[in-house]
Amino acid sequence: MTIRTLVWGENIHERINEVVRDIYPDGMHKTIADALNRDDAITAETATLQEPEHGLTEARLKETDVLVWWGHKDHGAVDDAVVERVAARVHEGMGLIVLHSGHFAKIFKRLMGTPCALKWREAGERERVWTVNPGHPIAAGIPENFVLENEEMYGEFFSVPEPLETVFISWFSGGEVFRSGLTWRRGAGNIFYFRPGHETYPTYHDETVQQVIRNAVRWAYRPAPALTGIHTAPNVPVGEALEPITERGPKLHKAGEAGYK
Amino acid sequence: MTIRTLVWGENIHERINEVVRDIYPDGMHKTIADALNRDDAITAETATLQEPEHGLTEARLKETDVLVWWGHKDHGAVDDAVVERVAARVHEGMGLIVLHSGHFAKIFKRLMGTPCALKWREAGERERVWTVNPGHPIAAGIPENFVLENEEMYGEFFSVPEPLETVFISWFSGGEVFRSGLTWRRGAGNIFYFRPGHETYPTYHDETVQQVIRNAVRWAYRPAPALTGIHTAPNVPVGEALEPITERGPKLHKAGEAGYK
Amino acid sequence: MTIRTLVWGENIHERINEVVRDIYPDGMHKTIADALNRDDAITAETATLQEPEHGLTEARLKETDVLVWWGHKDHGAVDDAVVERVAARVHEGMGLIVLHSGHFAKIFKRLMGTPCALKWREAGERERVWTVNPGHPIAAGIPENFVLENEEMYGEFFSVPEPLETVFISWFSGGEVFRSGLTWRRGAGNIFYFRPGHETYPTYHDETVQQVIRNAVRWAYRPAPALTGIHTAPNVPVGEALEPITERGPKLHKAGEAGYK
Amino acid sequence: MTIRTLVWGENIHERINEVVRDIYPDGMHKTIADALNRDDAITAETATLQEPEHGLTEARLKETDVLVWWGHKDHGAVDDAVVERVAARVHEGMGLIVLHSGHFAKIFKRLMGTPCALKWREAGERERVWTVNPGHPIAAGIPENFVLENEEMYGEFFSVPEPLETVFISWFSGGEVFRSGLTWRRGAGNIFYFRPGHETYPTYHDETVQQVIRNAVRWAYRPAPALTGIHTAPNVPVGEALEPITERGPKLHKAGEAGYK
């Protein structure tokens, strides 16, 4: 088993903000990819906003099993056509891990169908992440709670659809809570949102955070062939019905005609 | 209690197809609205594709508690700005009932985040709708199964997100099954998809189908004030934290600066 | 509409512990029932552990739409036959609201199928309850968060099944979080667990807590007739099949024979 | 990876009914275990009702990762203490696959908390199993539908809790539908119910049925250590709070005292 993983980074603050550059000299995507490559089952590469087609060409996505997404400052710069392309691949079964400020990424809002808004405060306060679903594969080996001494606060209401399962919930010093680890499936694609990761703190160097993301990549991986048929609404001709039926009543469509879209 | 309901109809086949016009001389939307108005708790009006802004102006949506949607032949003609406006109102708490071929309506795909595709066959075959969640409010008074003697077949895989609850499942003579009654919430808005209703059959004259839609409108209704704050991601200043905290560590944002979107 | 509600109280600490008696001189059940009766749609009475059959006779349960349950010190004293009787009524459609230490009540464990365990600490610390599902009927009129200045802490992992929806999550001064408002359906019966309510604090005198419980009673109410058939597994004779079929192959059961249980 | 799997068979009809014995001369459990052993990742053994403690001793369960359950004629003969032992292991993370008439097994009803009733008809009619969740691991390699030419009919309402996900739905010649593949988690244990498998038909010799069960065993497998702490509700002493707090207000419990159960 080799899970072909692509870590997508917006790659802006790492270049223009000294604090972020000091923590992630090769970019946050590189740190995350390195953490993933510590798992023998995962082969992780990177792509960034600045590459042609943001590094997310049709060919590359076809060879990607799981996509990890970090963006913040310039969600609007991601081309809509690329967003649709990524969405189509998720529907076909590519896994998607959305990190932190990626809650406002076009691709996440596109797949959730909701505002994906939340409250926030940048004060370097303490975050305690609690495991509320210890049987879930993403929680494997993760303690019942772990601390990130300095993090940005995200607070409820987090306007996403009710998840399949809630895996983590965060406690903040300032009095807020947040559903920090949530799962969904869209089409055949598994999606995981994981909250921590503000760029001015060394969150992605944290061993437990890295383990969560590795677990998430393994969980999101779908080894079955791409469900390419998911995009079509095929007509089943009467003559090919599984049980013999006789056509009755008036019809809109002529034989062989495509449906409306 | 008065549930202000708006039944939106594409209103094309009723005008250009003789078979459909004979069944629904005033349009499908009118038949559905009449059925809803039989419930004292509901006041239903209609709107159509052909009206300015498709009859879905900001003012009218603001006064709508539940929107019922039927479209088929020309989903593409619905203006994208109107779709976003309807989506915003659903997020704020307006209920949405999507009927039959509305599975491919822009607003439904927008809120689901998936292709919403399925199989289909127009052969006037028998559909049996089974109640698989008799405790659900939408199933109130609905028998354990009911028959629509002539219907279009819709078959799985129906590529929508796993619902909050499955209320109805259909059996078709030709051998297919379909999840015919599904619920979701997006933001504060309740959404129900109900399968039956091909325009060449008198489905919306059926008493049980009408009862399901009346139940769905009551279920989708949210009497609380619109959740207008759902569209924003407000900053919580450190000085206004619920618990006293001290700002620590480096920051991206200056005091009072808005977040990225 | 009148929702016939029964508030069941263990009624032990109110009698033997001076602190609790001072806060709830007529018992916690009486305070809760009074709060419910402030809603014109609700008629609430009380029952206690000490009454014959714990006040939960077959006849009384038949006339109960929603049962509210508070117990703590002597869950084991509740008769198993009564527990099964209550479970049967929930399956038929009676709503059930389980409060605080009722997480370990026999009836709750019976309906959840899990240990329903959690962490706890009795230190009078601050609890902030956050609304994480503002569109849910139980959250109607409830602010985005509210404070209980002194409460017992309950911490995760709360070993209950993944809920249909998570409505509230609590933050505690000591660093824990807890899923404080959760919904399930079992058979036709709606179930809501609500965390606050340690007996040495005046929690059930809190206006917001009272509103949550009133909302929960309204939400749990199922006006449809009791689903009494839910307890049987009826045979459908071949001659009564909905579609004509011919009996084929070997059989275990003779015609008219009941199934195994 | 080796998934230690135990296939539990009631082993009654295979011995007393000639038809069943002819199809499963070594018992249904043996046929199922053989099918599982064709997967290199699985090591399957068997246990039966007639063995001491039904073959489900504490020691054996401790070494079991996934338990597969088939019973029908004598659910009542399974010892209640063994049922509780199995439930405890599921809560700790052992997977459980319940087959066909096992819907009425004590262990399934215990974990679901509902009647688990359904309709049935033994007429050897045709069953078509439809995949309604092709992205789910249990559907890997399973076609969009497959046929079992002779099966017992199970019809809705199947009184189980709303599942985490619905994977398969069956169509029957006689006009019924049934949710045939459903998932839940209870504690840390994954549970899958799979409908087909009436003993008078050769269902467990079917290649696709075998593949579904192999997939289910792989899906239900939880490699993490047993979550043995799930059975307790530990007190967190004030002095060990994660955040410093001061004890306030009246208390019920003395320091170090255990909670009520």
Q: What is the pLDDT of residues B76-102, one digit of tens each?
A: 999 999 999 999 999 999 999 999 999
pLDDT at residue B253 above 90? no
Q: Quick one: pLDDT at residue B134?
A: 97
pLDDT at residue D257 above 90? no
Cα–Cα distance measured from residue D33 to residue D43, given in angstroms and rounded to the nearest whole number: 8
Nearest residue, CB atoms, B120 vs list A110, A233, A243: A233
Q: Indicate the pLDDT class of residue A1, thresholds 50, 70 and 90.
A: confident
Q: What is the DSSP pairing of strand A189-194 with strand A177-186?
A: antiparallel
pLDDT tens track for B221-243: 999 999 999 998 889 999 999 99
pLDDT tens track for C13-26: 999 999 999 999 99
Cα–Cα distance measured from residue B222 to residue A197, given in angstroms and rounded to the nearest whole number: 36
* Token code pair at residue A180: 């920090």
pLDDT at residue A249 above 90? no
Q: Indicate the pLDDT class of residue B255, thresholds 50, 70 and 90.
A: confident
Burial class (CB within 10 angstroms; exposed 0-12, middle 13-18, buried 19+) of A249: middle
pLDDT tens track for D149-171: 999 999 999 999 999 999 999 99
Q: Which of B243-252, C24-33, D16-25 is the least confident region?
A: B243-252
Q: Quick one: pLDDT at residue C212?
A: 98
Q: Indicate the pLDDT class of residue B30, thresholds 50, 70 and 90.
A: very high
pLDDT tens track for C180-210: 999 999 999 999 999 999 999 999 999 999 9
pTM above 0.90, yes or no: yes
Q: Do D145 and A242 touch (CB under 8 A)?
A: yes
pLDDT at residue C256 above 90? no
Q: Indicate the pLDDT class of residue A259, thresholds 50, 70 and 90.
A: confident
Query: Closest residue of A to C132, CA-based?
Result: A157
pLDDT at residue D1 above 80? no
Q: Is the peptide bond prior to A157 cis by the omega test (within 30 degrees of 0)?
A: yes
Q: Quick one: pLDDT at residue B94?
A: 98
Phi, then psi, of B187 in degrees rounded to 5? 65, -130
Q: Which residue do the tokens 């036959």 mark?
A: C81
Nearest residue, CB atoms, C234 vs list D87, D119, D252: D119
Task: Centre a 10 Å sphere on the Cβ of residue A110 and count the other Cβ atoms it contains.
Answer: 18
pLDDT tens track for A4-41: 999 999 999 999 999 999 999 999 999 999 999 999 99
Nearest to C58 by CA among C78, C84, C30, C95: C84
Q: Quick one: pLDDT at residue B68?
A: 98
D3-114+178-229: CATH topology is Rossmann fold (3.40.50)
Mean pLDDT across D68-72: 97
Cα–Cα distance measured from residue C188 to residue C88, given in angstroms and rounded to the nearest whole number: 10
Q: Indicate the pLDDT class of residue A250, thresholds 50, 70 and 90.
A: confident
pLDDT tens track for B193-226: 999 999 999 999 999 999 999 999 999 999 999 9
Instruction: Provide the terminal-to-terminal Cα distance of chain C, rounded to the nearest Å.
Output: 39
pLDDT tens track for B138-168: 999 999 999 999 999 999 999 999 999 999 9
Query: Which strands, in side-by-side order, build the sheet including A95-99?
Result: A42-48, A3-9, A66-70, A95-99, A189-194, A177-186, A165-172, A119-131, A145-155
Chain B: list its partners (3+ Cβ pairs within 8 Å).
A, C, D
Q: Count of H helices and E strands in chain B?
A: 7, 9
Give how far C229 is from chain B: nearest CA, Å.
11
Q: Do D190 and A227 touch (CB under 8 A)?
A: no
Q: Which of A60-64, A240-244, D93-97 is the least confident region?
A: A240-244
Q: Which of A146-150, A245-249, B109-113, D226-230 is the least confident region?
A: A245-249
Contacts of D189 in chain A (CB under 8 A): 135
Percent of chain A with pLDDT over 70: 100
Q: Indicate the pLDDT class of residue D67, thresholds 50, 70 and 90.
A: very high
Its ipTM equals 0.96
The overall average pLDDT reported for chain D is 96
Q: DSSP class of residue A38? A: T
Q: Quick one: pLDDT at residue C260?
A: 85
D180: left (phi over 0), alpha (psi -120 to 50) or beta: alpha
Contact criterion met (CB below 8 Å) for B11 and B49: yes
Q: Quick one: pLDDT at residue C257?
A: 79
* Token code pair at residue B214: 């009346």
Cα–Cα distance measured from residue C213 to residue D46, given in angstroms and rounded to the nearest whole number: 49
pLDDT at residue A256 above 80? no
Q: Quick one: pLDDT at residue C190?
A: 98
Q: Quick one: pLDDT at residue C196?
A: 98
Contacts of C175 in chain A (CB under 8 A): 128, 145, 171
Q: Do A222 and D145 touch (CB under 8 A)?
A: no
Element (H, E) at D72: none
Q: Answer whether A247 touches B (CB < 8 Å).
A: yes
Chain D: list its partners (3+ Cβ pairs within 8 Å).
A, B, C
Strand ranges, E, within chain B: 3-9, 42-48, 66-70, 95-99, 119-131, 145-155, 165-172, 177-186, 189-194
Q: Answer whether B162 touches D (CB < 8 Å).
A: yes
Per residue in D70-103, is it b (16+ CB within 10 Å) or e — as a string?
bbbbebeebeeebbebbbbbbbbbbbbbbbbbbb
pLDDT at residue B256 above 90? no
Contacts of B238 in chain A (CB under 8 A): 121, 123, 174
The Cα-based distances of B224 to A148, B220, C137 in angstroms read 37, 12, 8
CA A166 to chain centre: 15
Q: Indicate the pLDDT class of residue A258, thresholds 50, 70 and 90.
A: confident
